[in-house]
Amino acid sequence: MAKKITVELCMGSSCFARGNSEILQALESFIAERGLEDNIELVGHLCLGKCNEGPNLRIDGTDYSGIGSEEAIALIARALEE
Ligand code: FES
C-alpha cells in the first residue's frame, strides 16, 4: 500500500449527524492501526452541497453518499490498492 490517496470528508452539521462522525472515527483508527499517515490525506469540508444525501465523502475525486463507516473504510482500502 504505497499509494497516496485523498479522502475528503464533509464535516458540515448535516453530514456529521448523518454518520460522518462515525466515519471519521473509523478512518482515524484505520490510519493509526495500519500506519497509513503518509498514504491518506484527510481533508475536511464545511459542506459539499448535497446535505440531504449525506453523509458525503469524496475519495480521490469520486463522491459517495449515504454510506456507513464499514462501507467507507472498505472503499478507502480498495482505493489504496488500485
Ligand atoms: S453538510 Fe455535508 S453536504 Fe452539506
Q: For residue 75, is it within any domain?
A: yes
C-beta of 51 in contact with ligand 1 (< 6 A): yes
Average pLDDT over residues 46-67: 97
Average pLDDT, the chain: 96
Residue 71 structural domain: 9-48+57-81
Q: Whose CA is nearest to atom 1 of ligand 1?
A: 12
Q: For residue 19, is it within any domain?
A: yes
Q: For residue 4, is it within any domain?
A: no
Please report the atom of ligand 1 found closest to the CA of residue 45.
Answer: 2
Kindly tell me if the per-residue pLDDT of 1 is higher than 70.
no
- The answer to whether residues 18 and 56 touch, using CB atoms and an 8 Å cutoff, is no
Q: For residue 36, is it within any domain?
A: yes
Indicate the number of domains in the chain: 1
Q: For residue 77, is it within any domain?
A: yes
Q: For residue 1, is it within any domain?
A: no
pLDDT value of residue 82: 84
